[in-house]
Amino acid sequence: MITVSEAQEIVQKNLPPRQVETAALAGSAGKILAANIAALEPSPRYTNSAMDGFAVRWEDVRLASAAQPARLTIVGESQAGIPFWEALQPGQAARISTGAMLCAGADAVVPVEETEVDGAVLRVLKAEKQHQHIRFAGEEFAAGAALLEAGTLLRAAQVALLASQGIAEVPIYRPPAVSVMVTGSELVPYDAAPQPWQIRDSNGIMLRCAVESSGGVVRSSGQVGDDYQRTVAAVRQALTDSQIIIFSGGVSVGPHDLVKAAAGECGFETLFWRVRQRPGKPLFFARRGESLFFGLPGNPVSALMCYLYYIHPVIRHLCGAAFTHHTVSGRLAQPIRNPLSRAQLFRVSLTPAGAALPEVRPLSKQASHMLTSVSDAGGFMLLDVGADLADGEMVEVYPFI
C-alpha cells in the first residue's frame, strides 16, 4: 500500500491537459475563464450625467448662489437614449436625466434640487465646481484595457461586465465529461423495491451529484452487476464519451472484484491500487492516454470520501481551478486520536455551520457503511498515523461540497 500523500501526488502528476471551449455568455456563470478578456470599448461609452438636473456651462453658473441665482434659458432636453444634439450657447441650459448623454458645450450638471424653474427660465441656486456630476467617457476604463484574467470564476458581476461590452461568447475551460458506474449484483435502483437479499443503490446517485457539484458533466451512468464482460463493455462505452471514468465497487480482492482486470483489458495502466487510509483502502487509479479511471470501494462512505479527497480536485483542476482542497479552520471540542496504522478521513461536525471559527466535533459513527457518518457531518479531517489532538486545538477541516 502507498500513503495518502503518495496517492494524491500520483493523481496530480497524471492530470490530463485542460480543454478549452467557447460558451455562450448566458450560460457561463460558474465557469472559469480560459483566456484574458480586454475591453472592446470604453466605459462609460459616452460622457453622461450622474444626476437628474440641468446641463449648463460652468462659466454661466460659477458665481450662482441662493441670494444671486444664475438665470438661464432652457432650450431642450437630453434623455437617456434620446440625446439633445445642439450645443449650448452662453446663457442656455438643457434638462438632463441620469445616464443621458451630455450635450456639447456643457461642462457641469446642476441637480434639480439646486434649481428653480419658471417656464423656460432656470434659476441656478448653487454650483460647486466645474465638471460636477459628470461621468466622462472612458473614466472607468479605456478600450483595450484588461477586464478579466484567465482563471477568473464567472459570477453575476463578471457576466454583467462582459455583457456591458457586448461580449456574447467567452472562452472557458471545458468541464470534464464523467461516467459513473456501480457494480454489485445485490443492487437494485434506489426507486425500486428490493428483495430481502438485495439493497438499493445509493452510490450511483451520490456520485453523480458529487460530480455535478464539482463542476463535471455526467455523460453516462449505470449498473453492471458482477459480470466481467458487462464490466469490460461498460468501460469501453465510457471511453467513447468521457474523460474520467468512475466505478464504485469491484476493486477489492474477492472473486467478484472484476473492475481492475476490466480496466486493464481496455488499455488502462494501473498507477496504484490500495492506499494506507481508512475508509477507502482498496482505491484504484489508472490512466489511458488522457482518460483517467478511478475504482472506488463499494461501501458508500468509502466511495464518497475517496471521491472528495482524490477526484474532486481533479475535476476542479480540469474546470480551470487550482488542484487543491478548500479547508476551514476550527477548534476541537474534544480530543481526537488515531490509533490505527493507517491515516483516517475522519468525519466531523462543524458548529455553527458557516461560522468563521466553528467548533469541530468528531462523529461517534465512523463505519464505512453508515451513510449518517457523512450526512450528519459538515466535513472531514485527515488524521495522520499516530495523530493525538487535544481539546481546544486548532485544526483544518475539509468541508463537504
What CATH number does the domain containing 250 carry? Answer: 3.40.980.10
CA distance 274 to 282: 4
Question: Which residue is it, cell 425500486?
Answer: 192
CA distance 220 to 36: 33
What CATH number does the domain containing 83 carry? Answer: 2.170.190.11
Same domain, 129 and 246: no
Cell of 7: 496517492
Domain end, chosen from 117, 135, 153, is at 135
172-187 per-position pLDDT tens digit: 999 999 999 999 888 8
CA distance 383 to 283: 18
- Residue 20 near residue 318, CB atoms below 8 Å: no
Residue 252 lies in a domain: yes
Which residue type, as a one-letter code, is found at position 139? E
In this predicted structure, what is the pLDDT of residue 144?
98
Q: How confident is the model at residue 32 (pLDDT cuts 50, 70, 90)?
A: very high
Same domain, 33 and 158: yes
Domain that holds residue 27: 20-44+139-173
Same domain, 271 and 184: yes
71-88 per-position pLDDT tens digit: 999 999 999 999 999 999
What CATH number does the domain containing 167 carry? Answer: 3.90.105.10
213-270 per-position pLDDT tens digit: 999 999 999 999 889 999 999 999 999 999 999 999 988 877 778 999 999 999 999 9
Residue 355 lies in a domain: yes
Same domain, 202 and 78: no
Q: How many domains does the chain have?
A: 4
107-118 per-position pLDDT tens digit: 999 999 999 999
Percentage of the residues of the chain whose pLDDT score is greater than 70: 100
In this predicted structure, what is the pLDDT of residue 355?
83
Cell of 384: 495522520
Same domain, 211 and 88: no
Residue 238 lies in a domain: yes
Residue 293 lies in a domain: yes
CA distance 293 to 281: 16
Percentage of the residues of the chain whose pLDDT score is greater than 90: 91
| DSSP E strands, 255-358 | 269-273, 277-278, 284-288, 291-296, 328-332, 336-337, 343-351
CA distance 398 to 344: 13
- Residue 280 near residue 297, CB atoms below 8 Å: yes
Cell of 53: 438636473
Alpha helices of 155-284 — where are they, by DSSP H?
Answer: 156-164, 203-214, 228-241, 259-265
Domain end, chosen from 318, 348, 374, is at 318
Whether residue 9 has pLDDT greater than 80:
yes
Same domain, 228 and 350: no
Domain end, chosen from 147, 173, 199, is at 173
Torsion over CA: 128, 129, 134, 140 (sign): negative
Same domain, 156 and 120: no
Same domain, 195 and 285: yes
Residues 6+ apart with CB under 8 A from 243: 16, 176, 177, 178, 290, 291, 292, 318
- Chain center to CA of 194: 38
Stated pTM of the model: 0.88
98-156 per-position pLDDT tens digit: 999 999 999 999 999 999 999 999 999 999 999 999 999 999 999 999 999 999 999 99
